[in-house]
Amino acid sequence: MALTISGLSKTYPNGVKALKNLSLTIGNEMFGLLGPNGAGKSSLMRTVATLQDPDSGSIDLDGIDVLNDKTSVRRVLGYLPQEFGVYPKMSALDMLHHLAIMKGIANKTERTQMVDALLNQTNLWSSRKKSLSTYSGGMKQRFGIAQALLANPKLIIVDEPTAGLDPAERNRFLNLLSSIGSNVTVILSTHIVEDVRELCPRMAIIASGEVLLEGAPAEALDALAGKIYSKVVATDDELRALETSFDVISTNLVGGLHEVRIFADTNPGDGFKPVDSDLEDVYFLNLSRHSKN
């Protein structure tokens, strides 16, 4: 299952240019779409999910013209949007049966087997008869994946799925995503770098509706090997001085002090020490370069 996005542009009536001639190729894998809030991730996901039309461009899903054959796309699509609404008084069991019927699974035996399997897969079986309003945030997200997996979709889109989850629920959710299987294309749209690092063999970084980088996280890390340096400073004045003199990627507070990470082709001296690059360095360096253009 290959998804090819070509020259996609979208400007909203308020003048916001959400997508700017964006092109991506996504294979049969877990693909990470990484970017800050407002980068255009949700606009792209809604367009691929046939919920809105672009101003220009095309999307091909294994030979299906996504923009002109939406019915065919919806038959093979599972979607968990950033804001996922449910009927709060319904149980997870009843809601999944209702959604399965809407997806055309009319045979009761087939539907029951599918719903029961999904409730077990998402670890919701013991809570299947409880109303969805009583579910925690993590349980609601796992239910969201269960409904997205109805009818064995070939393309699954999850938009900011771990935002707001506590660490334990986040781990449960990521483990669930990783177990979905290798015969499904999964697009994980997120601003959380760790989600992509842990799950995705390929990724893209986008900002202001444009692709800044596309490739394997490991390749992006290799490109920065030996070029990331770190220094700890105590005052805001020292931090500002470094920001004017070096290509600062990020700063973090550590014990009340500023840890400054910079990109440099050679050792800059001045107390900086070489450190291993990580995916956050890739992410912030690309965003920093984009903001300066």
- Binned at pLDDT 50, 70 and 90, residue 81 comes out as confident
**How do residues 169-217 score in pLDDT, each as one tens digit?**
888 888 888 888 667 899 999 988 989 988 999 999 999 999 999 999 9
Q: What are phi and psi of 52, to 5 degrees?
A: -155, 155
The pLDDT of residue 255 is 86
CA torsion angle for 13, 17, 20, 24 (degrees, to 10)?
A: -90
Strand partners, 26: 3
- Annotation: CATH topology of 3-220: Rossmann fold (3.40.50)
The pLDDT of residue 182 is 66
Single-letter amino acid code for the residue at 103: K
**How do residues 221-275 score in pLDDT, each as one tens digit?**
999 999 999 999 988 899 999 989 999 999 998 888 999 999 999 999 889 999 9
Q: What are phi and psi of 76, to 5 degrees?
A: -115, 15
% of the chain at pLDDT higher than 90: 66
Choice between 293 and 252, residue whose per-residue pLDDT is larger: 252
The pLDDT of residue 181 is 66
- Alpha-carbon distances, residue 143 vs 10, 93, 227, 252 (angstroms): 31, 10, 43, 35
pTM of the model: 0.88
Give me the count of residues in the chain. Answer: 293
The pLDDT of residue 97 is 94
Q: How far apart are CA 154 and CA 176, in angstroms?
A: 16
At 40 the three-state DSSP class reads coil
CB 124 within 8 A of CB 153: no
**How do residues 88-147 score in pLDDT, each as one tens digit?**
789 999 999 999 998 888 899 999 999 999 999 899 999 999 999 999 888 888 998 899
The pLDDT of residue 155 is 93
Q: How far apart are CA 12 and CA 93, in angstroms?
A: 38
**How do residues 148-172 score in pLDDT, each as one tens digit?**
999 889 999 998 888 888 888 888 8
H or E element at residue 259? strand 257-263
* Mean pLDDT computed over 56-70: 96
CB 86 within 8 A of CB 140: yes
Strand partners, 4: 25, 60
The pLDDT of residue 260 is 94
Q: How far apart are CA 115 and CA 109, in angstroms?
A: 10
Q: How far apart are CA 146 and CA 140, in angstroms?
A: 10
Q: How far apart are CA 150 and CA 143, in angstroms?
A: 11
Pairing between β-strand 202-207 and β-strand 30-34 as defined by DSSP bridges = parallel
**How do residues 11-52 score in pLDDT, each as one tens digit?**
999 999 999 999 999 998 899 999 998 999 999 999 999 999
